[in-house]
Structure formats: C-alpha cells, structure tokens
Chain A
Amino acid sequence: MSEISTQNDSARLNRARLRYRQFRGQWYSTPLLLTAIFGTLLVLPLTLNLYAFGFSLGTWVSVHMLIITLVWATTGQAWNMMSGYTGQFSFGHAAFFGLGAYGTILLLSTSGVNPWLGMFIGATIAGLYGLVIGVLCFRYDLRGHYFALATLAFAELLRYTFNTFPQLGGASGFFKPLPRQYADEFGLAAFQFDSVLPYYYVILVFLIIVTGVSLVIKQSRLGLYMFAIRENEDAASAVGIPTYRYKLVGITVSAFFTAWAGAFWAMYFDTIRPETVYDILINVEILLPAIVGGIGTVIGPIVGAFIVIPLSEIVRQFINLPGLDRIVYGLLLIGIVLYSPQGIVSWPGRFFEILEQRGLYENTIDNDDSRPDE
C-alpha cells in the first residue's frame, strides 16, 4: 500500500490505462457494459420526476424524447450490423424503415391485420427488399460510392412509389386506426397504449433484442467473416470466405430489424406519410448514432443515439428556430468525421493518448490504444 502512495501520477495513470485496456480485452466486457446500460435504461423514465438538489431530469428530458432516442438507437444498431460490420455503406436504410412502417399500418388499415403480425410481415418484406438490393448490387460488385448511391436510389424509388399510388396511401399516407377497430382495447395486443411509458418499454425491448443479435453476430464466426470483408474484401475472398453470401446475410438481417423500428414508429405516431418515413433525412438519422458513437461497435449506436437525439431535441425545444436541430446534426457529422472518426466509444482510450501528447504524463507501457474499442 505504501508503494502505491509514493508512486507519482504518471504511474497511476499508466495503471488505470492498463486496467482499462485489460478490461476491454475481456470477452465479457461488452456484455457487462450493455447490462449496465440497459439496467439504467430500465429505471431511467421512473427517475425523471425525482428532485435532487432542486434539480430534476424531467425539466430537460421527457419520456417522449427517450422513446425517440431508443428508436434511432435501434435503427443505428441495425444499420451497423450491415454497414458497420461488412463496410458496405448504405445510404438508403429509410427504405427498410418505411417498409416496416407501411407494412404494419397498411395491413392494419385495409385488412385489420394485427400490428404485431403486420410488423413481422413488413419486416419480412423489408428483408426481401434488402436481399433484392443486395443481389442486384453485390452481383455486379458495386462498392463504395456506387453502392451508397444505389441504396439511396432504392429508398427514393419507394418514396415516389408510395407517393404516386393511392392504393399505397398516396401523398397523404395513413391515419393510425383506433384500437377498438381491430382489437378489444388499448394494450400490448393492440400495440397501442393510452400512455407513453409502455411505448418506452416496447422500444427498449426491441433495442435489447437487436443489440443481442448484433452482439451474437459480432462474437461469432459470421462476425469475423464480416469484419474480414470490411478490412479487405479481395483478401477475404482470396482465403475462401464467400463474401457475396455474407454481405447478403448482412443486408437482409439489417433490413429486417430496421423495419421493426419503422413498425414501432407507425404505431407510436398518428400518421405515416412518404415524407415522414422515406425522407432523405431519415437515412441520416438512421446512420448518425452509429457514426457518432462508433462504427462497427455494439455500444456505439446506443451511446451515439443518446448524444445526438437529446441534443437536437433540447435545441429544438428551447430555441424556437425550425431547422436549428438539423444544423446541430450537420455540425456533429462534420465534427465527428474530422476529429474523431472512430466515434465516441474510442474516447476513453484516446483520453490517455491526448494526455500523453500534451506531455502531461509519461507512458511506460506499450502503446496500443489505436485499436477501436471492442
């Protein structure tokens, strides 16, 4: 004990750095962190109205804001499973989001299909649409710019298609029917509630499921293949990894889960229009959490969503200038890419690096924090 107290700050920081790295190197570190995050999220809405030191979280944060945050965390997580893991940058995930939303609400309004069933039908359609996009694009080996543009075109194609045909709701879209038109009453079976809190827990469960799938994929052989494709597709292909097949798996799974968030969106808000679910901005909102948090990491999309969405919502609520929230998005996008392209989850590792560069302490352990977290 006396040894430690005589050590200077440098040694203490070196220890902390080593300990952090050792912890992040363990297989259980991400599941442990996720458990802590989800545990916090479980009780978070209940603490909003608690006053402590004359301060209440509820003055800044509402359950509605948390719900929106979780929706984009879910989509960010789903986007990440494809674009973060395999490196195939999709700029058209609004297609899948919209198909989930429209699949649910269209079947509900026209045929009275239960929204839960509608959600799975919509998600399956989205998965198939993703598969078709994947088959068309990957067969011809579209990469980089071409792939991003092609996915955007497939999303915009849906926007204009839904806009044009009145059978698909046309430009005015659909109103959400009342529960008594297809079920007994408000409740889980109707996917509609008379207060916001149950919605929060539904989307939290969605996020936990998607995160679980994402984690399982990442820690499996499939995840290794996907990351190999991201790092060097030609090399991966040369050592016998069927890159085409795994890219298809990536886009299909990603599309399927993105549609879940879309279905939730359709049941949470009153109306769905092509402009609200297929807009270009939706593509950005889907990928923003993953980029801000850290592409290819499991924790990144959740952390990113909790930075991006509350920030823009608070800006929107407290400064009454329409469009200011989008300026915040823009600044975040540019700032993250220019100054911290590995995202916020890389900050604990970078913290020591920056201290070192500033000459604030001397590094006596080897220097290997450059590896992105997880």
Chain B
Amino acid sequence: MFATFAIGQTVPVELFGFSSETAAVPLFIDLSIGLQLLAFAILLGGIYGLVALGLTMIFGVMDVINFAHGALMVVGMYAVWWMTNGLGLNPFLTIPIAVALLFVFGVLIHLTTIAPIIDASQENQLIVTFGVLLIIVSTIEIAFSADPQSLDIDLGSVGIAGIYLPEGQLYALVFAILAVIVSWAFLQYTQLGRAIRGTADNRDAAQYVGINVPRIDYLTFGLGAALAGLAGAVIPLFQQINPHLGDAYLINAFVIVVLGGLGSFPGALLGGMIIGFVHVFGQFYLPGSGYQIAIFCIFILVLLLKPSGLLGGDSNE
C-alpha cells in the first residue's frame, strides 16, 4: 500500500499493520522520506484526533467510556467500501453518507443501551459498550468475511515540491484536517456546541440553566459516532480494511484521551497529533511492534505523573 515510493525507494518498514522487519534504520534519513513520514504522521494524527474527539465528547458529557468506538469506525470503513465497490458510487460522495448513517446509528445505540443505565455504575456502562463492540464487529465479519478488503478504484500519487504522496492519503489528509476544523468551530461557536461543552463541564448545572441533558446525551453520542465514522470512512482511501482494524485505533484513542485529559476537547486533538507522530516515526525506527510499546509507556507515564492529562482539569474521578 505504501511500500513503494514514486522515487523508486522502498521503505524498510511497512507503515500501518504489524511488520516484523527488524533491520536497524539509520537515525538520519533522506529528506524526502522524512517529509513523507511527516505527512503520514499528520494524516494519522488527524484520524486519531477525530476518533479521540468523539470518545472524549462522550466521556465528558456522559461519563461513559465507549468501547464500541473502534467498532463504529469499522462501520464507517465498511459503509464506504460497500457503497463504492457494491453500489459503484464515488468514494468521496459515500463519505458524507457514511457519516450521516453513523450519526443515526450512534443515536440508536445510545437510546437502546446507554440511556437506560446512564446513572448506573461506570463498570456497567463499560461492559455494555463492550457488548455492542462484539456484536458490531462479529456482524460485519459474518456479513463481509474477515478477509482484508480494498477499494476497487486506483488513485495515483501526487508530487508536491518533491514529496510524493499517494493520492488517497492526500485526500484523507484533507478530509481529516477539514473535519478537525469543523468540529472545533462547531463546539466553540454554535449554540449546540456550547450546550455540549456546558454539559461536559457540569451536568447538573447544565440541567439547572435549562439545557435538555438527555437530548444533549443522544446528540453527543450520535456526533461521537459520526466522528468515529468519519475517521473510519477515510481509511479505505489509503489502506486495506478488515473487521478488527478498529481495535488498534480504539486502544490508541484511549491513550490519546487520557494523554490529552479525559473530557478535554483540545486535548484530544493535540494528543492525537502526538500519538500520530509517535506511531509513524516509532514504526519507522523501532523493530516490530516497538512503536506500540512506546505508546503504552507514554500512557502509563501520563497516568502516573499527571492522570488529568496534558490539558485536563482536576477530573481524577
């Protein structure tokens, strides 16, 4: 997928997926490879940021850790893949459809499983969302098999100022950056965005000032699902997909959410970028799954040194 460069060089490690290449990589690399890695880190950081933003919104507003978040990404991936390959639609048209679909799906999940136990213990909510994860992923696996799938379309690569990027990645990058900006503006400047931030800040007080908190709950869950779906929807543009691809993203999204501060929206985007860079450069320099070990070490260090995260308040609860 990303192994061959337009300039004819081959990257010694496979970006994404689990490579077992153990050959040492020189510390100083060709500038063009460096820039290529940088672009990929920003792309991955944007995707991580979107996933983590949805996760942290749901956590901030409802105090629920949504284990089904990675599965919602997978639904986004398969929606785009199926509409493009099965229905023959333009992949860029299918992305907004997938996002809308995920919003509705998220609201339904919230109303059927989370809303009835919104006041129950945290463990119970965690278990329920894990149940949702198992059902979604297994259903997709039964419907489309566990084999990796990819889009039939062939996107070429583009060269900008000496850096060659596969076109799919470039579009995904544009989508990710746009989505980050739009979500940010939505939360910051719209009435609904303010209501969501207010509810995340103080649920009871939000109720007192007249915010319809149950409505905010299902809208937030829908929006969170839509963000996960969007992050998932751009992935088929540059990578093969499979039903279990969401797991790795989910785990790293947890890391990002804690790194940025549970419930902190800017923290999720910043944390996403940091983990995106650690992932891409760690995968380049470290053998095997070393990058993932590095990410967990960061996670454990943050939990121990500053559990409230980089941009979080004092919400250690």
Contact B65 A149 (CB under 8 A): yes
User: Does B219 lie at the interface of the complex (its beta carbon under 8 Å from any beta carbon of A)?
Assistant: no
The contact of B288 among A163, A284, A330, by CB within 8 Å, is: A163
Contact B300 A136 (CB under 8 A): yes
Cβ of B124: which chain A residues have Cβ within 8 Å of it?
337, 341
User: Does A101 lie at the interface of the complex (its beta carbon under 8 Å from any beta carbon of B)?
Assistant: no
A2, chain B: closest CB distance, angstroms? 49
B242, chain A: closest CB distance, angstroms? 13
Contact B137 A326 (CB under 8 A): yes
A340, chain B: closest CB distance, angstroms? 11
User: Does A143 lie at the interface of the complex (its beta carbon under 8 Å from any beta carbon of B)?
Assistant: yes
A59, chain B: closest CB distance, angstroms? 26
Using known A-B contacts A141-B316, A153-B300, determine if residue A160 contacts B128 with beta carbons closer than 8 Å: no
Contact A291 B127 (CB under 8 A): yes
Cβ of A324: which chain B residues have Cβ within 8 Å of it?
138, 142
User: Does A13 lie at the interface of the complex (its beta carbon under 8 Å from any beta carbon of B)?
Assistant: no
The contact of A338 among B59, B113, B287, by CB within 8 Å, is: B113
User: Does B187 lie at the interface of the complex (its beta carbon under 8 Å from any beta carbon of A)?
Assistant: no
Contact A330 B254 (CB under 8 A): no
User: Does A146 lie at the interface of the complex (its beta carbon under 8 Å from any beta carbon of B)?
Assistant: yes
Contact A137 B131 (CB under 8 A): no
User: Does A156 lie at the interface of the complex (its beta carbon under 8 Å from any beta carbon of B)?
Assistant: yes
Q: How far is the CA of A89 from the CA of B121 in the complex (A)?
A: 11
Using known A-B contacts A280-B247, A338-B117, determine if residue A330 contacts B131 with beta carbons closer than 8 Å: yes
Contact A153 B299 (CB under 8 A): yes
User: Does B293 lie at the interface of the complex (its beta carbon under 8 Å from any beta carbon of A)?
Assistant: yes
Cβ of B299: which chain A residues have Cβ within 8 Å of it?
153
Look across to chain A and name the residue whose beta carbon is closest to the beta carbon of B123.
Answer: A89
Contact A321 B292 (CB under 8 A): no
The contact of A330 among B126, B134, B317, by CB within 8 Å, is: B134
The contact of B127 among A140, A150, A165, A337, by CB within 8 Å, is: A337
Contact A323 B138 (CB under 8 A): yes
The contact of B139 among A145, A327, A333, by CB within 8 Å, is: A327
Using known A-B contacts A164-B288, A331-B135, determine if residue A341 contacts B113 with beta carbons closer than 8 Å: no
Report A149-195 residues with CB < 8 Å from chain B CB: 149-150, 152-154, 156-157, 160-161, 163-165, 170-171
A157, chain B: closest CB distance, angstroms? 4
Using known A-B contacts A157-B293, A164-B288, determine if residue A145 contacts B65 with beta carbons closer than 8 Å: yes
Cβ of B2: which chain A residues have Cβ within 8 Å of it?
none
User: Does A240 lie at the interface of the complex (its beta carbon under 8 Å from any beta carbon of B)?
Assistant: no
Contact A333 B128 (CB under 8 A): yes
Cβ of A107: which chain B residues have Cβ within 8 Å of it?
none
Cβ of A337: which chain B residues have Cβ within 8 Å of it?
117, 120, 124, 127-128, 131
Cβ of A146: which chain B residues have Cβ within 8 Å of it?
258, 262, 303, 307, 316
User: Does B255 lie at the interface of the complex (its beta carbon under 8 Å from any beta carbon of A)?
Assistant: yes
Contact A164 B289 (CB under 8 A): yes
The contact of B293 among A161, A326, A331, by CB within 8 Å, is: A161
Contact B287 A330 (CB under 8 A): no
Contact B128 A334 (CB under 8 A): yes
A28, chain B: closest CB distance, angstroms? 31
User: Does A54 lie at the interface of the complex (its beta carbon under 8 Å from any beta carbon of B)?
Assistant: no
B10, chain A: closest CB distance, angstroms? 22
Q: How far is the CA of A280 from the CA of B138 in the complex (A)?
A: 14
Most buried by A among B116, B123, B300: B123
Report A318-349 residues with CB < 8 Å from chain B CB: 321-324, 326-327, 329-334, 337-338, 341
User: Does A25 lie at the interface of the complex (its beta carbon under 8 Å from any beta carbon of B)?
Assistant: no
Look across to chain A and name the residue whose beta carbon is closest to the beta carbon of B300.
Answer: A153
Q: How far is the CA of A145 from the CA of B307 in the complex (A)?
A: 12
Contact B20 A334 (CB under 8 A): no
Cβ of A280: which chain B residues have Cβ within 8 Å of it?
247, 251
Cβ of A257: which chain B residues have Cβ within 8 Å of it?
none
Contact A149 B287 (CB under 8 A): no
Cβ of A331: which chain B residues have Cβ within 8 Å of it?
131, 135
User: Does B122 lie at the interface of the complex (its beta carbon under 8 Å from any beta carbon of A)?
Assistant: yes
A-facing mask of B105-134, CB < 8 A → 1, else 0? 000000001001100101110111011111
A308, chain B: closest CB distance, angstroms? 12
Cβ of B142: which chain A residues have Cβ within 8 Å of it?
321-324
User: Does B23 lie at the interface of the complex (its beta carbon under 8 Å from any beta carbon of A)?
Assistant: no
Contact A322 B304 (CB under 8 A): no
Contact B126 A145 (CB under 8 A): yes
Contact A326 B134 (CB under 8 A): yes
User: Does A225 lie at the interface of the complex (its beta carbon under 8 Å from any beta carbon of B)?
Assistant: no
Cβ of B262: which chain A residues have Cβ within 8 Å of it?
145-146
User: Does A91 lie at the interface of the complex (its beta carbon under 8 Å from any beta carbon of B)?
Assistant: yes
B257, chain A: closest CB distance, angstroms? 9
The contact of B254 among A143, A149, A164, A323, by CB within 8 Å, is: A149
Cβ of B138: which chain A residues have Cβ within 8 Å of it?
323-324, 326-327, 330
Contact B307 A144 (CB under 8 A): no
Contact B134 A327 (CB under 8 A): yes
User: Does B146 lie at the interface of the complex (its beta carbon under 8 Å from any beta carbon of A)?
Assistant: yes
Contact B254 A334 (CB under 8 A): no
Look across to chain A and name the residue whose beta carbon is closest to the beta carbon of B252.
Answer: A156
Cβ of B297: which chain A residues have Cβ within 8 Å of it?
157
Given contacts A284-B134, A291-B127, A333-B134, 13 further A-B contacts (CB under 8 A): A141-B316, A149-B303, A150-B303, A157-B296, A160-B296, A164-B287, A164-B293, A170-B288, A321-B142, A327-B134, A329-B131, A331-B131, A337-B117
Offer 12 A-B interface pairs, CB within 8 angstroms, sorted by A.
Answer: A89-B123, A137-B303, A142-B307, A145-B63, A146-B303, A149-B65, A170-B288, A322-B142, A324-B142, A330-B133, A333-B130, A341-B120
Task: Please provide the 9 A-B residue pairs with the shortest distance between their CB atoms, ordered closest to farther.
Answer: A333-B131, A330-B134, A164-B288, A323-B138, A330-B135, A334-B131, A330-B131, A160-B289, A157-B296
Hey, which bits of chain A sit against chain B, CB under 8 A? 89, 91, 136-137, 140-146, 148-150, 152-154, 156-157, 160-161, 163-165, 170-171, 280, 284, 291, 321-324, 326-327, 329-334, 337-338, 341
